[in-house]
Amino acid sequence: MAQFRTNHSKSSAAGGNIARVGIFAAILAAMFYLFNLFSSGKASQPDAPVAPTEENADRPNYLPSSSTGQIIDHGYFWLSYDEEHEQAEWAAHILSREQLELPRVDRSGDFRPDDKVKTGSANPADYRNSGYDRGHLVPAADMGHSAEAMSATFLMSNISPQARSFNAGIWRELEELTRTWAKKYGKLYVVSGPVLTKAPKGRIGVNNVAIPAAYFKILLDLDSANPKAIGFLIPNEISFEPLTKYAVCVNEVEKVTGLDFFPKLLDDSIEEQVESRFNVDLWQFSKQKFQQRINNWNKQQ
């Protein structure tokens, strides 16, 4: 009996030693795992984004919704391509005072297909002898601070069929005013595009590019003391009316286009404030530019 107790004690001691060694080994393994985890930065940044890929891009938070799912990054601006209409449903960029104060580069004029469009973009030949301009959504002049940025605006994904009297008239006036406002307010979020929910005026080229009945532009200023936004809905035709006639709230543009603008950039309270109302008095329009359009630009057809 005594022998049994002695063997049992030795066995218990040995078992205890083995257990302690096992626990110690487990602790070391856990410490080694945690060391590797923290040293790699993963533990301190559990919500770090996955590295951007073609399928999972790190997209800016100011982008509108996309009805097509084909959002393309051109570095200086983003767009959502609509294959059915062979053009972007919107193009978005940030326009800042700092950009506009940099030295200007020459206009490149290198219109070309966009290889990033998986379904294939329109091409310059679609517009040839069509009677319509290759109109920019992101203006070339907005990207005049960089030769690369300027060239990107001539990709056909950023181009849409615009009546000459529209492109060189009221659309030009709005683009120039937008740059004036960006200089005044410091930074604007700009979204431009065709109204593709309305029946097109026709189609051009072998790719059947739709001719939009109208265009929109939305401007959002978050840098001022009082955030504000304004939208425009303008028919794709000559206009002798002041731009203020076409000014609308962002909600109206959303209603017409079916798009949701700035869904990730604005919290609910600010979104309601800036999207449901607008005040043209907060945006300084230019009577001089209006007269220049009426007297000169509209006649240069």
Per-residue pLDDT tens over the stretch 147-195: 999 999 999 999 999 999 999 999 999 999 999 999 999 999 999 999 9
Residues contacting residue 8 through CB under 8 Å, at least 6 positions apart: none
Token code pair at residue 137:
């959504």
Residues contacting residue 63 through CB under 8 Å, at least 6 positions apart: 71, 78, 92, 264
- Stretch 8-13: mean pLDDT, rounded? 40
Mean confidence (pLDDT) of the chain: 84
Statement: residue 20 has pLDDT above 60:
no
**Cα–Cα dist 134/282, whole Å:** 32
Q: Are 239 and 290 in contact (CB under 8 A)?
A: no
Axis-axis angle for helices 287-295, 171-185 (nearest 10): 160
pLDDT of residue 57: 45
DSSP, res 167: I
Nearest to 153 by CA among 139, 133, 164: 139
pLDDT tens profile 269-296:
777 778 888 899 999 999 999 999 999 9
DSSP, res 166: I
**Cα–Cα dist 114/276, whole Å:** 35
In this prediction the pTM is 0.80
Three-class SS state of 197: coil
**Cα–Cα dist 165/19, whole Å:** 87
- Stretch 90-103: mean pLDDT, rounded? 97
Question: Known catalytic residues?
Answer: 136
CATH of domain 71-299: 3.40.570.10
Token code pair at residue 125:
């030949």
